[in-house]
Amino acid sequence: MSVSVAYSARQTASCNAATGTIERLGVRIAYSKDEEIFGQEEPADLIYQVVSGAVRTSRLLSDGRRQIGDFYYPGDIFGLESGSEHRFSAEALRDSVILIVKRSALRGQDGAALERAIWEATTRELERTQEHLLLLGRKTACEKVACFLMDVVARCGGHGGELPMGRQDIADYLGLTIETVSRMLSQLQSTSMVEFDALRRFRVMNPQGMARLAA
């Protein structure tokens, strides 16, 4: 069941400057599927890096509506969304190992490297959030799903991808319902854009077409 193999390339490729430093200063903690890593409105004095597994950040409205902020894969840093208090909670999408560091470990020469890693992760986060904004505000259901799949492909490398999250998580990420996500996936398959080997494993069959849809 070691799906993490699919993402192993990223682990070394991304956040290269940070990884060494964070590993030395941080502590590893294992989380099981759906376990909360941190909660909304908790103080945000720690930063987190996915070692293995996958993570989602999410925000709940009082009546239960949910928006997912982003998904994080091995090598990704998360938990730095705000100034002092978390505005999103974070949960493990499946059994995961997370490396945790105190933000205040900004002392000594390791401090500079860590600070730089935090800065890079923050600007990357902002960039992705802005892309997400455009998707939620101005894209159709079909475009949203196509964008999502292409983003997963870009993160995995190659022409296919493995989805560590369920359909409900995808729906809450895209601002859709689970039924609409399902319908769009079916439509993309019937038009030979993608092919699903299993519920969570797919390949892109028509990259140009998908790129056009992902606009």
Q: Which of DNA, a copy of itself, none does 59 bind, CB closer than 5 to 8 A by kind?
A: a copy of itself
On the 0-12 / 13-18 / 19+ scale of CB atoms within 10 A, 56 is buried
Residue 79 · residue 38 · CB < 8 Å: yes
Q: Which of DNA, a copy of itself, none does 125 bind, CB closer than 5 to 8 A by kind?
A: a copy of itself
Residues of this chain that interact with a copy of itself (CB under 8 A) are 59, 61-63, 65-67, 69, 81-83, 87-88, 119, 122-127, 129-134, 136-139, 172, 174-175, 215
In 3D space, the residue among 93, 98, 108, 106 whose CA is nearest the CA of residue 45 turns out to be: 106
Comparison of 175 and 195: residue with beta carbon closer to a copy of itself: 175
Q: Which of DNA, a copy of itself, none does 63 bind, CB closer than 5 to 8 A by kind?
A: a copy of itself
Comparison of 12 and 32: residue with beta carbon closer to DNA: 32
Comparison of 67 and 189: residue with beta carbon closer to a copy of itself: 67
| CA 93/CA 71 separation, integer angstroms | 9
In 3D space, the residue among 43, 25, 32 whose CA is nearest the CA of residue 100 turns out to be: 25
In 3D space, the residue among 1, 17, 164, 149 whose CA is nearest the CA of residue 77 turns out to be: 17
Please state the closest distance from residue 134 (CB atom) to a copy of itself, in A.
5
Instruction: Provide the 10 A C-beta neighbour count for residue 143.
Output: 17
Q: Which of DNA, a copy of itself, none does 88 bind, CB closer than 5 to 8 A by kind?
A: a copy of itself
Comparison of 122 and 189: residue with beta carbon closer to DNA: 189
